[in-house]
Every structure is written in structure tokens, then in C-alpha cells.
Copies of this chain bind each other. A is one copy, B any other.
């Protein structure tokens, strides 16, 4: 992948047309916010642009996704946003995994799968990068674009909580609010609005809390049975991954989620010194230093033991 500057990315987007914007599976606020903001901006430039995600876009983002309907033309340029590796593509999006022209991402672990790429792991979110891209391009940020970008920034920073937030992140947020982003509504909808089923699921998950590695590792489990009993939706499990890491003294928080056919999905959250992406890369996953994920196909017990062993080992390495 040829690394390019924001100016070069801007130039590329000005010069081409018929864009298809790819988002990763289980799309989060940063993927959806970045993808839809870019799509809206390109259309406002008079370009043709569609978005593609292999999974369903959660309805909670409807306040900025509902206005964007796909046109369904034959794309000429494939762009990926917030995508660290093509392993995170799903469904129809997989058809394009080997022909991605432009990658815009904030994952330091980005595997460089595209022809051209702007990747900066120091920036809080892909949406923050897209904001700077639009500033570079002097693109008018409409209210819908501002809502989309604000959503990406606030969801990927735990509402401006993580150490990835820089002064520029706050200045970008302020500018998006000036341009119409409804921060009060967005932050409430993203962070302060739990369904009863999610509250119930959180209670069940807390009942599975276990500690390992001298209480430095907090481990919780989400089984299919819990999902059924609580009635929680898939997208409602996102926030749960941050719970074990929040416990005082815990350096590694692990959430183990039962998926189909013997797949167990792990979400790993770590404190500054420990690199979650190193732990997850052992099992073919990846992510950021403080937040990463991977899957293990095995029995419940074996998958759990493998992950705990990997966590204990990385803790030992630091001694």
C-alpha cells in the first residue's frame, strides 16, 4: 500500500467518481459515521457514491443513515473506512477485498491491503480523520454530515474518555457542533439509552465475573442462552466489553462471547502498559493497543483457557 497524505487523498477523491465505500462487519459508530459522512460529502460534490456493509446497519444510527439510500451503480473506486484488515469484511463486501483503491483508517495495526492509504494510529477515530479530510477539501459540512462525524468520534472515544482524545479531537467536536451536530441527542442515544434487555444482560454478565493472574485479569462471559433470556440485540453487547476493564486494579478485561458453530469471540481491553492487539493477534485478530478482538474456534473451556494463558503470559513478560 502506498501511504499518501490527506491532500493526496483529497486529490484522489476530487479526480475520480462512482465510489463504493466499504465498512467492516458488526459496524460501530465510527465505521457507520465515517462511511455515511464520506458518502454524503461525495454526493454533495456531484459524485456518485454508495456505501456497503456486509452486516445490517444498526437502526440506532438512523438519524443520519436514513437520508442516504444506495443508488446501486457499477463502482469504479473502492474506498474503505475504519477497516484495519479485510478479514473484517463480510457478506457482499468481501467481493471487493482484493480491489480496494483507497483506505482511510486510524488503526496502527492496519495491514496495508489497499492501493493507496492514509492511516494514522494516533488519531482518536476514523471520523476525526474524515473531518480533517473535509477541512482539507474545503467541503461544506452539512448537519447530517456533522451528526455522522460527531457520532464516529464520540463512539470511538467512549464519549471523549479515552487517552486517544487530543485537544484537536475536542476542537473538531466543537466545530461539528457549530455545524449542527446534535451532541446532546447523539451522546444520550449512544451512551445513556439502555434497553431493559441490555440492563438485564449486564446483570447476567456481572454474575460471570472471574479474576485471574493475581486479579489483574477480569473475565466475563456472554452465552447464547443469556442473549436469548435477556432478549438483548447483538449491537447491545458492544458496551459490555468495557465493563471488566473498569474494575480497579484490573490490567486486562476480557469478554468471551459465544457465537455459532464453536466460535468464541473475545473482546480484550487493557490499561496503557499492555497491548491488547498483541494478545489478539496471536489468535488471528487485531485492533488497537487498548482495545482489540479475536475469535477462537474450539470448546468453551479450551478457548477460555487459551485466552487466559495468553493474558497471563503477557503479564509475566512485563515482570
Residues of A at under 8 Å CB distance from B?
A: 154, 158-163, 165-171, 173-175, 177-178, 183-185, 187-188, 191-196, 199, 202-203, 206-207, 209, 242, 245-248, 272
Residues of B within 8 A of A206 (CB): 199, 202-203
Can you offer 8 A-B residue contacts whose CB atoms are under 8 A? A163-B185, A165-B187, A167-B174, A170-B170, A193-B246, A194-B248, A195-B248, A203-B207
Residues of B within 8 A of A187 (CB): 158, 160-162, 165
Q: How far in angstroms is the closest Cβ of chain B from A150?
A: 11
Residues of B within 8 A of A174 (CB): 167-171, 174
**Would B177 and A166 count as touching, CB distance under 8 A?**
yes
**Would B196 and A161 count as touching, CB distance under 8 A?**
no
Q: How far in angstroms is the closest Cβ of chain B from A37?
A: 19
**Would A159 and B162 count as touching, CB distance under 8 A?**
no
Residues of B within 8 A of A191 (CB): 158, 161
Give bound CA distance, A184 to B169, whole Å. 13
Q: How far in angstroms is the closest Cβ of chain B from A53?
A: 24
Residues of B within 8 A of A166 (CB): 177
Give bound CA distance, A187 to B193, whole Å. 20
